[in-house]
Structure 1
Amino acid sequence: MAEKKKKTIKIQTPKGRPLLNWVGKHPLEHVQGYPTQLIECFDPQSKNHALKTPVYDGLEKNWHNLLFHGDNKEVLATLLELGFRGKIDLVYIDPPFASNKDYVRKVELRGLKDLGRMEEDSESIIQQTMYEDIWKRDEYFQFMYERLILLKELLAETGSIYVHLDYRMVHYLKVLMDEVFGEDNLQNDLIWNYYMGASGTERWGRKHQNILFYSKSNKYQFNLDPVRVPYNPETIARAKRGEARYEVEAEDLEKSGKNPGDVWSDINPVQGNALEKTSYTTQKPETLLERIIKASAESDGLVLDCFVGSGTTCVAAQALGRRWIGVDVNKGAIQVTSKRIQKIIKDQGKNEKYPTFAIYKVNNYDLKILHTEAKELAIQQYGITSTKTDPFFDGTRDSNELVKIIDFNHPLTLLDLQLIVDELNKRPDEDRNVIVICLGRETKVDAWVEEWNKKQPYKDTRTKQRIKQFIIFDLKDKNFVSYEPSKAEVEIKRKGKNKVKIKIKSFISPTIIKRLELEPGLLRKKIPDFRSMIDVVLVDTDYNGEVFRIAYSDVPEKNNDLVKGEYELEIPKKKTKVAVKIIDMLGEEVLVTKKV
């Protein structure tokens, strides 16, 4: 059977001015959508209407919210194919800042506040890299350019986009957005000013971030009344004294409030003890997103965030009764967002306007967490010092060798080695050895390395030491990434005619155990309760083998609380398959099923 030809979607070329130019700049002329796979659904009111393929026409009159796991460029193209062109009312994105550092999710095991902490430091030691914000500038510009073009295609004519940045890239992105959206459509360069942050002695303390607010046209929505803030008490006092410049009564001023302006100093960053706090270091406060959503999305508006991270945009939209779409390539982000949304829907009960959301996969990114974990373990195991200032090499070793870590999605190839050689040729004074860390290698690699090493000149003729020697560390050779999945023993028994009793008898995450053992200076403590390693437990009481429909979720209220581990739930009277999904603290999932 012939493969179905993919539909090509034409994209309008930006025509705005001024222009930002970079090496390799090219507009998107067309894109192609990808198949979507419905993998999970939260439907506490049993509406059972999650669409297998989320086509806009099918959702318009029977909406459920959407969470996509996949690369956002691919997901945005897929949304165009599914009929969402011109349907989005508000886009908020908090993209990478090109900060030249890794952003991590800090993981603490439940019920053990001190486990995973250094004796002299309150920072969590078990850290999981969610994304690397290390870019060559030209690559960053092209990355953002393509996504901004697609977002404009999805925006309604009355729609708006807010892009959250900091001092590193805001000036470049402003010019880039002038090209994509038009210079005249810049409505505000909002300043989020906060009291927290390093002061330092070398410069003025950096205590603000920028949010660029553009509209798609001059017909954009903006509702001031819901976001007005109180007048300064002195202003009210002057009005009460009857000073001539106030043309309204003091009571009216107090009642109406004022425009917050474009410098927001009244919204604090998320504190460590805040109830909304997640494990994301870049998490934005819900009050910030609530202000943006109230102003730029009507009560039934559709909000999109394609860098969803900790899920704050979706959380705020859900709480305010707006429709939403969230996208992230990182599975951990999808899990954190899902967990937060489930809690809101449960808290609001039957009053919830949109009580159902579904998770879709676009392409397969399940291995991303494993590859990230393996890279972190390799860095620890081999004593590598990460180098953030080098755009090519990943770091150095104590013996001063350069280190290059090959993407674990493919084995080391001759092309990878040639790229390293090309980089060394750009550095004529570089004579250090190069350690290449890989997960598997092609058969021709060993012969190539041997030949290369023989051809290099001597560094010291007396010791016969040569320069620029390639040293291959293949993690497969060392059984370094002998990946062991998490394991669970779960007892599932029918009780009476229409109930099931579930008991999690044991759970082990080899990845968590390995991380604890490898971290230097870690407090050596046993884990007295295996539930410390479990983040969330989900149950589908009538699993069809394809879509996991969440009938029950055990999401602990506080970070230090444990999951219950034992459940008694209603099930159909007929024979049914019960599925229990256990998600550990690093985001790995274990699925246990049984017919009862």
Structure 2
Amino acid sequence: MTTMPWQPEEAGPNLVVHADNSTFLPTLPDGSFTMIYVDPPFNTGRVQSRQQTTMVHNADGDGDRTGFGGRSYDTIKGALHSYDDAFTDYWSFLEPRLLQAWRLLAEDGTLYLHLDYREVHYAKVMLDSIFGRECFLNEIIWAYDYGARAKNRWPTKHDNILVYVKNPKKYHFDNAEVDREPYMAPGLVTAEKRERGKLPTDVWWHTIVSPTGKEKTGYPTQKPEGLLRRAVSASSREGDWVLDFFAGSGTLGAVAAKLGRRFICVDQNSQAIQVMTSRLGHVATVVALETA
């Protein structure tokens, strides 16, 4: 594999890297990043069901189906077969990459792992093992109100972001840099507090990327800049390096550039690289790494 003589202290360019993250990440030095955001593919596979059906002629004419020429048939249902089209080995896919994230974080660094309800509970156990339970900082709930409404259960309108720190005694967190929110009961606080707004809690109400907004890139899993801006602002300083190795549309890079952070965005998907080249090409060098 082509490697890169990259060191975090160098004033090198921001990077958009076209590569498999499992082969690229080991080439980066230990402790290089103050903040890592990971938005891996969710394990959204469903258990699909298929059932064999046999039609048997009913001579009495009182079957449950009518066929050609008005002939009556009974439906005989066969054995039900199920198969799982999910990542059958999702966690062996994700675990080595999370181990790399731990290695690459600086002592004052923070990991944000973005998942949904399907896998977040398993991820919590895995990250407790990798980082240590004492390094768990928060579970952030990203709540939004957009899209279809389920009628047979409570509609699912949130994602989960697990936040872990490399060292619980040294991690960087600056809430003074975070955007503030309006008070839900403004009449109960002073005018000064109303004007300033309140600090966010671990529930972040933020709309998804508008299908018609300027921010929209067309990438299917694009995350809104406001969501990443809050994490980057709190958990890194101006000039720090941040990393996203499932970069998708490059939202972390876009936010980092606006906030004066240095960034590396990695993805092996050609569509993602095209989107990031268009979105970040003016502030980053695009590099394609080839395996030998």
Normalised-by-shorter TM-score class:
0.7 to 0.9
Are the counterparts in 1 of residues 36 and 112 from structure 2 also a CA contact under 8 Å? yes
Are the counterparts in 1 of residues 183 and 197 from structure 2 also a CA contact under 8 Å? no
Per-residue CA deviations over 1:91-111 (Å, capped at 9, x if unaligned) read: 00110111128xxxxxxxxxx
Per-residue CA deviations over 1:341-383 (Å, capped at 9, x if unaligned) read: 13xx4xxxxxxxxx4x222222259xxxxxxxxxxxxxxxxxx
Give me the whole-angstrom Cα distance separating, in 2, the residues matched to 1:358 and 1:324.
11
Structure 1 residue 54: Cα displacement: 3.4
Give me the whole-angstrom Cα distance separating, in 2, the residues matched to 1:156 and 1:363.
28
What's 1:135 paired with?
A: 87
What's 1:74 paired with?
A: 23
What's 2:290 paired with?
A: 363
What's 2:36 paired with?
A: 91
What's 1:148 paired with?
A: 98
Structure 1 residue 301: Cα displacement: 1.3
Please list every run of 5 or more consecutive structure 2 residues that lacks an aligned counterpart in the other structure: 47-84
Counterpart amino acid of residue 288 in structure 1: L
Give me the whole-angstrom Cα distance separating, in 2, the residues matched to 1:300 and 1:258.
27
Counterpart amino acid of residue 199 in structure 2: N
Query: Aligned residues, how many?
Result: 253
Q: TM-score, normalised by structure 1?
A: 0.41
What's 1:588 paired with?
A: none
| Partner SS for 1:287 | helix
Give me the whole-angstrom Cα distance separating, in 2, the residues matched to 1:160 and 1:87.
12
What's 1:269 paired with?
A: 208
Structure 2 residue aligned with 1:186, among 129, 132, 136? Answer: 136
CA distance 1:206–1:62, change in 2 (3 Å): same
What's 2:171 paired with?
A: 220
Give me the whole-angstrom Cα distance separating, in 1, the residues matched to 2:185 and 2:117.
33
Q: What root-mean-square deviation, in Å, do the aligned CA atoms of Structure 1 and Structure 2 show?
A: 1.9
What's 1:562 paired with?
A: none
Are the counterparts in 2 of residues 230 and 254 from structure 1 also a CA contact under 8 Å? no
What's 2:57 paired with?
A: none
Per-residue CA deviations over 1:217-251 (Å, capped at 9, x if unaligned) read: 1111111012141442634x3344xxxxxxxxx42
Are the counterparts in 1 of residues 242 and 262 from structure 2 also a CA contact under 8 Å? yes
CA distance 1:230–1:270, change in 2 (3 Å): closer
2:115 maps to 1:165: yes
Give me the whole-angstrom Cα distance separating, in 2, the residues matched to 1:233 and 1:282.
30
Counterpart amino acid of residue 180 in structure 2: V
What's 1:35 paired with?
A: 2
Per-residue CA deviations over 1:490-541 (Å, capped at 9, x if unaligned) read: xxxxxxxxxxxxxxxxxxxxxxxxxxxxxxxxxxxxxxxxxxxxxxxxxxxx
| Partner SS for 1:178 | helix
What's 1:424 paired with?
A: none
Structure 1 residue 318: Cα displacement: 1.1
Structure 1 residue 319: Cα displacement: 1.5
| Partner SS for 2:252 | helix
What's 2:9 paired with?
A: 60
Give me the whole-angstrom Cα distance separating, in 2, the residues matched to 1:90 and 1:75.
18
Give me the whole-angstrom Cα distance separating, in 2, the residues matched to 1:179 and 1:60.
30
Give me the whole-angstrom Cα distance separating, in 2, the residues matched to 1:171 and 1:221.
25
Are the counterparts in 1 of residues 2 and 291 from structure 2 also a CA contact under 8 Å? no
Give me the whole-angstrom Cα distance separating, in 1, the residues matched to 2:203 and 2:261.
26
Structure 1 residue 185: Cα displacement: 1.1
Are the counterparts in 1 of residues 38 and 244 from structure 2 also a CA contact under 8 Å? yes
Give me the whole-angstrom Cα distance separating, in 2, the residues matched to 1:140 and 1:239.
47
Are the counterparts in 2 of residues 94 and 165 from structure 1 also a CA contact under 8 Å? yes
Structure 1 residue 280: Cα displacement: 1.5
| Partner SS for 2:185 | helix
Counterpart amino acid of residue 18 in structure 2: H
Counterpart amino acid of residue 188 in structure 1: N
Are the counterparts in 2 of residues 227 and 295 from structure 1 also a CA contact under 8 Å? yes
Please list every run of 5 or more consecutive structure 1 residues that lacks an aligned counterpart in the other structure: 1-33, 37-52, 102-132, 241-249, 346-354, 366-596
2:285 maps to 1:336: no
Are the counterparts in 2 of residues 198 and 206 from structure 1 also a CA contact under 8 Å? no
2:197 maps to 1:197: no
What's 1:307 paired with?
A: 246
Are the counterparts in 1 of residues 219 and 275 from structure 2 also a CA contact under 8 Å? no
Structure 1 residue 258: Cα displacement: 2.1
Percent identity, please.
Answer: 42
Structure 1 residue 289: Cα displacement: 0.7
Larger Rg: 1
CA distance 1:200–1:75, change in 2 (3 Å): same
Moved more, 159-168 or 63-72: 63-72
Structure 2 residue aligned with 1:282, among 209, 221, 227? Answer: 221
Give me the whole-angstrom Cα distance separating, in 2, the residues matched to 1:270 and 1:73.
29
Structure 1 residue 256: Cα displacement: 4.3
Structure 1 residue 61: Cα displacement: 3.8
| Partner SS for 1:275 | coil
Counterpart amino acid of residue 264 in structure 1: W
Give me the whole-angstrom Cα distance separating, in 2, the residues matched to 1:234 and 1:173.
35
